[in-house]
Amino acid sequence: MNEIQINNKERLNKHLSQQNLNKAVEAIREDGYVIIHDIIEQSNISALRARMMTDINKILSLDIVPYQFKKGHIQQDPPPFRPFLFRDILVNPFVVDVSHYLLGDGVKNAFYSGNCCLPGSQRQPVHFDMGHLWPNWPNSHPAHALVVNVPIVDMNPENGSTELWPQTHLNTTSNDKTKDIKIPSRIIEAHRQKIKPFQPMIPIGSILIRDIRLWHCGMPNKTDTPRPMIAMIHYPRWYETGIPIQFATGSEEVLKDERLTTIATFLNKPIDYIGHNNTYDYNNL
């Protein structure tokens, strides 16, 4: 597993050493992911956890619950207002070191949402979040987007840690074989013969960065406690993104950063972060 533990000097400087930056970049380029440990204050995670656990029941009481693929996997936005916005999550300098190196000047965050794996959840189909930019080209290209995942509870195989498929971000065989983001079973099995998937153990305070093309899969939560996780997506300057993220007025300073631009709009009114998500390819069979 590709892991980095920062040292005291890095923590003081708020930057990865060149050695660890190289390690992170190489891990993402070769395997499609890296985990950087102990870079978020645990008190910030605790505050978010308390609120997001309360929000789960509100989401489940909606007329249409935003299940993703299978029952038990819901899309869940974190609250987009103070006091639940934290710089070490939204503009974490160690994460920005990596995304700036891989995506270049003008890197931007255009997504702030997440998912929650509920007790009794089912296994999702193996999928990627986005395919290659040139789907008919036989060779892979450099990363064009990075997903930044922040666990709100300790994640492990028991509570549904997301299954990762190393090196699949380089796999172009599914591009002309499928019309959606799910990977056909015969392509899955062909890759499994080369490298097997795994479920990482990721404690709170750590962050998973993965190439958006990496195959992954939501897994069953065998515990009695929901497993929420925040997701952001970093894009290069030239990539066209959609509707800005909605944040409450008064949170502008939290998002200011010299290297990372957050594509945001600030609203002086209540934001429906509970009920605005939709189901995706939901099948309860």
CA distance to 47, 48, 55, 97, 278, per residue, from 59 (Å): 19, 16, 6, 34, 11
List, in order, residues 6 or more apart from 12 with CB less than 8 Å away.
none
- Per-residue pLDDT tens over the stretch 17-35: 999 999 999 999 999 999 9
Residue 207 resides in a domain: yes
- Structural domains of the chain, count: 1
| Confidence category of residue 174, pLDDT binned at 50, 70, 90 | low
| pLDDT at residue 284, as a whole number | 57
Residue 136: its pLDDT value, please? 79
Residue-range definition of the domain harbouring residue 78: 3-37+72-267
Q: Which residues pair with 75 in a beta bridge?
A: 115
* Tens-place pLDDT, residues 176-210: 444 689 999 999 999 999 999 999 999 999 999 99
Q: Is residue 29 part of a domain?
A: yes
- Among 234, 55, 31, CA closest to 129: 234
Are the C-beta atoms of 98 and 145 separated by less than 8 Å?
Answer: no
Residue 56 lies in a domain: no
Residue 280 lies in a domain: no
In a domain, 276, yes or no: no
d(CA 126, CA 128): 7
Q: For residue 55, is it within any domain?
A: no
Residue 137: Cβ within 10 Å count: 11
Identify the band that residue 82 occupies on the pLDDT scale cut at 50, 70 and 90.
very high
Kindly report the CATH number assigned to the domain that includes residue 16.
2.60.120.620
Confidence (pLDDT) at 176: 44
Residue 169 lies in a domain: yes
H or E element: which one contains 185?
A: helix 185-192
User: Quick one: 270 exposed, middle or buried, by C-beta within 10 A (0-12, 13-18, 19+)?
Assistant: exposed
In a domain, 60, yes or no: no
